[in-house]
A and B are shown apart, each in its own frame.
Chain A
Amino acid sequence: MQQIYLIARREYLAYVGAWGFWLSLLTAPLLLALFAVGPLLAGRAEPTRALAVIADNPRDAEAIAAAFAARGADALPKYVLVEPPARTAEAIALWLTGAKTVTIEGEARPLFAALFVRNAGDTASIDYWSVNLTDRSPSDLAVSAIAGRQRADALAARGLDAAETARIEALEPRLAQYDPRAQTGQAVTSRDRAPYIVGMVLAFVLWSAVMGVANMLLTGVIEEKSNKILDSLLTSASPLQILIGKLMGVAAVSFTLFGVWALLGGSTLSLFGGGQSGFGAEVASAALDPGLLGAFLLMFLGGYLIYGALFLALGSLCDTLQESQSLLGPVFFVLTLPILLVGPAFQNPSAPLIVGASWFPLFTPFVMMMRAPSGLSFADFAGPMVLLAVTVAVVLVLAARVFHAGVVNQASAASFRRRLFAKKSG
């Protein structure tokens, strides 16, 4: 035990003392923050878009203007309706392509879009011109506005006054969502949805952490191999003790990371979470749920032990990082797949694909983290976890063997590949 402790301690101090640790410490929160505020910042950074409406019927232009005004001053991206610089599509193309500009907020800018609204009896058509082919929000808003105007005209023709028409237009059922598993019988609120968001964020943190620390282990063992230090250690500790010591040391590094991240996250949530109420506070409350945190630590342990042992074993076969790339390519590929499941798992944690993926031990930690908030049954939880525990044990035993052969130079990346190839062809 003393050897394992000393090896773990040295590993911990070596990593915490390196600048790479501090880089990792800041990278994940920065990435998360970027994901959270990136779209908002991008929207704010975009200049106000100029729209021109050319309508046969002035009421259509008014309806569209009212619809854009109803979006609110804070809605992004910002639109402003300008006096059409030309009345035909051919002519206005010069402003749309930027050959000519309109002046908005004191700056010359190209026209973002032009809407040609035509009427023929009860029917109306909109020709939407823009060089932006992907953002359909202005045309959708115009369609909705013209449809409203058409319905209002039709109802007026049938004798309804404007107030009555507005009342009918405003008709909408009240929606309340309920969860049959909830004992209170109260409708679902954002407080109930917060754990799913926290689960998704924790799954991402888990994935980043496993990816990061497994890489630390890999580079560490390759460095020790190239430094020829392992022979000195092997007379004092067994390969299994070295393997476990390294895993424990880097696990301690991870928990330090989590501690700092939790501190940063907690401070951020308390600063921007709206105090005692609001969605931020609900997310903070969900994030501090002992069940969810416990699940996170359990899943981290499983994922870390599997991938950490795998990276250590494969790293022990290599003398350089370049050499390790060819061996680790498939592992990185497998490790990347769970992140693709984040979206579907958030939409439906009980989808067959997600449930199936949670039974695949290499995915279990990440997928179960996403499924954890959905209230798993005992079988749903215990089955994949037992399989994960068995896989962890098997991987540790196999990794220790490979690590032993690797560190005493009785196996290499080349011999490992030869063996795999021989097994495949045999």
Chain B
Amino acid sequence: MTDALALHGLVKIYGDKRAVDGISFAAPTGKITGVLGPNGAGKSTTIRTIVGILTPDEGRVDMFGAPLSRESLRRVGYLPEERGVYRSMTPRAFITYLARLKGVKAADARARADQLLAAQGLSAYARKRIKTLSKGMAQKVQLAAAIAHEPDLVVLDEPFSGLDPVNQRGVESLVRDLAASGRTVIFSTHVMEHAERLCDRIVLIANGKKAFEGTVAEALAVVPASATIETEGAFDLAAALAPHGFRTESGGEAHGHRKWRVALDGPDASRRLLAACASANAPLALYEPARATLHDAFVRIVGEGVIGDME
């Protein structure tokens, strides 16, 4: 199946800064792709170039198998990073207006607005001015407006920012529903947990360049899993595990226990480690296997200094 979106060597230059520096990646149709990176990495510039707001200095964007065009943009729903609504309009009128701009007929747009507002629990506010709504509600209205025309590709720039945990879960659920209905979703975030929970594929951007592209599992594979072990007394776990092929690092001592960190390579590494500990009669006080996180993976990929404010 054709990728819904493909970026080819995208470059965007501001003054003497290459905000986006040769980024290429693809978003498979019907999948959720996360564009991750710290603030200032170039995510929003990439997203704004994808939706045609910015023109790339080099490279190109292909959408639905053809170069980006005004026609293909009609099939795109976009939630900008900087939220904006006409505060004096009603939610119903605002959603209808944006849907009509995308080519939806007036009656259909109104019906769709009512349906989306009901789904968001905002029916009671449909005819009140947006300026009377809370910030969270206004964000929901904007998200509804972005998908009111039932787009094939949904591009969300930092959709979780500014939302409380309950509403964040609501957006996560919406993203899953969109993908389940066959739509392609791309969203940018600097919060790894969302990406880890939602994404089929992820793209890491740092300093305007693509640092990684692949599945979450592929990203996690960059950092091996590990186990944290505490042993009683002066037992030397590193020496005991070395014959079994385990790499063990000492983590110091505390409260009469020695701490160890053991790398777990392979699918049954945790079981083999426990067996090795048992055969060496290791006096275990604590055994805690730890799965690598995306954050760990990205620290490994781009370095602690670059990862910045990513959560």
> Which residues does A use to contact B, with CB under 8 Å?
2-3, 6-7, 10, 14, 17-18, 224, 227-238, 408, 410
Complex interface: chain B residues within 8 A of A17 (CB): 88
Cross-chain pairs A/B with CB under 8 angstroms, 20 sampled: A2-B103, A6-B101, A10-B86, A14-B88, A18-B88, A224-B84, A227-B86, A227-B87, A229-B85, A230-B84, A231-B80, A231-B82, A232-B78, A232-B84, A235-B51, A235-B73, A236-B73, A236-B101, A236-B102, A408-B48
Of A3, A18, A228, which one neighbours B101 at CB under 8 angstroms? A3
When the two chains form their complex, are residues B84 and A229 in contact, meaning their CB atoms are under 8 A apart? yes
Residue B23 is within 8 A (CB to CB) of chain A in the complex: no
- Report the Cα distance A7→B73, complex, angstroms: 18
Interface flag for B66 (CB, 8 Å): no
B144, chain A: closest CB distance, angstroms: 12
Measured between C-beta atoms, what is the minimum distance from A416 to chain B in Å? 15
Taking the complex as formed, is B70 at the interface, i.e. its CB lies under 8 A from any CB of chain A?
yes
Known pairs A14-B86, A227-B84; A235 contacts B53 (CB<8 A):
yes
Interface string of B17-37 (1 = CB under 8 A from A): 000000000000000000000
- Scoring A10, A18, A229, A231 by chain B CB atoms within 10 A of each residue's CB, the highest score goes to A231
> With an 8 A cutoff between CB atoms, is B205 at the interface?
no
Report whether B84 and A228 are in contact in the complex, using a CB–CB cutoff of 8 Å.
yes
Chain A residues lying within 8 Å of B74, measured Cβ to Cβ, are: 236
- B98 to chain A: which residues have CB within 8 Å? 232, 236
Chain B residue contacts of A18, Cβ below 8 A: 88
CB-CB nearest in chain B for A17: B88
* Alpha-carbon separation in the docked complex, A186 to B70 (Å): 65
Residue in A7, A234, A410 whose beta carbon sits within 8 Å of that of B52 in the complex: A234
Tell me if A228 and B48 are in contact (CB < 8 A). Answer: no
Which B residues are CB-close (under 8 A) to A235?
51-53, 73, 76, 78
B54 within 8 A of A: yes
B101 touches A237 (CB 8 A): yes
B4 contacts A by Cβ under 8 Å = no
Q: A408 with B70: in contact, given A14-B86, A227-B85, A232-B84 (CB under 8 Å)?
A: no
Q: Which residues of B in the span 77-119 have a Cβ within 8 Å of any Cβ on A?
A: 78, 80, 82-89, 97-98, 100-103
Closest B residue to A245 using CB positions: B101
**What is the bound-complex CA distance between A227 and B53, given in angstroms?**
17
Q: Is B145 interfacial (CB-CB < 8 Å)?
A: yes
Q: Does B307 contact A (CB under 8 A)?
A: no
Q: Does B179 contact A (CB under 8 A)?
A: no
Q: How far is the CA of A228 from the CA of B162 in the complex (A)?
A: 15
Question: CA of A410 to CA of B15 in the docked complex: distance in angstroms?
Answer: 10
Give B98's nearest chain A residue, CB to CB.
A232
Contact call A231/B53, Cβ cutoff below 8 A: yes
Using Cβ atoms and an 8 Å threshold, which residues of chain A touch B126? none
Q: How far is the CA of A418 from the CA of B100 in the complex (A)?
A: 39
Knowing A6-B97, A17-B88, A410-B54 are in contact, say whether A232-B145 is a contact too (CB < 8 A): yes
For residue A10, which residues in chain B have a CB less than 8 angstroms away from its CB? 86, 97
B142 at the interface (CB under 8 A from A): yes
Report the Cα distance A234→B88, complex, angstroms: 20
Inter-chain contact A233/B70, CB cutoff 8 Å:
no
Query: Does B185 sit at the interface, judged by CB under 8 A?
Result: no
Whether B80 contacts A232 by the Cβ 8 Å rule is yes
Question: Which residues from chain B contact A410 at a C-beta distance below 8 Å?
Answer: 14, 54
Query: Cβ of B122 < 8 Å from any Cβ of A?
Result: no
Q: Tell me the bound Cα distance from A420 to B54 in angstroms.
A: 24
Say yes or no for B206: interface residue by CB 8 A criterion.
no
Most buried by A among B52, B88, B97, B102: B97
Contact with A along B40-52 (1 / 0, CB 8 A): 0000000010011
A232–B146 CB distance below 8 A: yes
**Interchain CB contact under 8 A, B88 and A232:** no
Q: Which residues of A contact B145 (CB under 8 A)?
A: 232
- Residue numbers in A under 8 Å from B100 (CB-CB): 2, 6
B53–A408 CB distance below 8 A = yes
Closest to A9 in B: B97
Nearest-Cβ distance from residue A78 to partner chain B, whole angstroms = 53
Chain A residues with Cβ under 8 A from B97's Cβ?
A: 6, 10
The answer to whether B54 and A408 touch across the interface, beta carbons within 8 angstroms, is yes
Closest CB-CB distance, A8 to chain B, in whole Å?
12
Q: Mark B121-149, 1 if CB is under 8 A from A, else 0.
A: 00000000000000000000010011000
A7 to B103, CA, bound (A): 13
Name the residue among B70, B103, B145 with the largest chain A CB count within 10 angstroms: B70
In the A-B complex, the 9 residue pairs with the smallest Cβ-Cβ separation, listed nearest first, are A228-B84, A229-B84, A236-B101, A231-B80, A228-B82, A235-B78, A227-B84, A234-B53, A235-B51
CA A27 – CA B254 in complex, angstroms? 81
Determine if A232 and B54 form an interchain contact, defined as CB atoms under 8 angstroms apart.
no
Shortest B69–chain A CB gap in Å is 12
B145 to chain A: closest residue by CB: A232
Residues of the B chain whose Cβ atoms lie less than 8 Å from the Cβ of A236: 73-74, 98, 101-102
CA distance A408 to B45 in the complex (A): 11
B86: contacting residue among A229, A234, A408, CB under 8 A: A229
CA distance A229 to B85 in the complex (A): 6
Q: What is the CB-to-nearest-CB distance from B156 to chain A, in angstroms, rounded to a whole number? A: 12
**In the complex, what residue of chain B is closest to A224 when comparing beta carbons?**
B84
Residues of the A chain whose Cβ atoms lie less than 8 Å from the Cβ of B51: 234-235
Residues of B within 8 A of A231 (CB): 48, 53, 78, 80, 82, 84
Contact of A228 among B73, B83, B102, B146 (CB under 8 A): B83
Q: Which residues of A contact B82 (CB under 8 A)?
A: 228, 231
Chain B min CB distance to A17 (Å): 7
> Would A238 and B70 count as touching, CB distance under 8 A?
yes
A231 CA / B54 CA spacing, docked (Å): 10
In the complex, chain B residues whose CB is within 8 Å of the CB of A233: 101
* Cα–Cα distance between A18 and B142 once the two chains are bound (Å): 23
Distance from B264 Cβ to chain A, minimum over Cβ atoms (Å): 45
B96 to chain A, nearest CB (A): 10
Q: For B103, list chain A residues within 8 Å (CB).
A: 2
Distance of A237 Cα from B78 Cα, bound (Å): 13
Chain A: CB-nearest residue to B54: A408
- Do B142 and A232 touch (CB < 8 A)? yes
Chain A nearest CB from B71 CB (Å) reads 12
Shortest distance between the CB of B142 and any CB in chain A (Å): 7
Besides A231-B48, A235-B78, 18 more A-B contacts (Cβ < 8 Å) are A7-B101, A14-B86, A224-B84, A229-B84, A229-B85, A229-B86, A230-B84, A232-B80, A232-B146, A234-B53, A235-B52, A235-B76, A236-B73, A236-B74, A236-B98, A236-B101, A408-B53, A410-B54
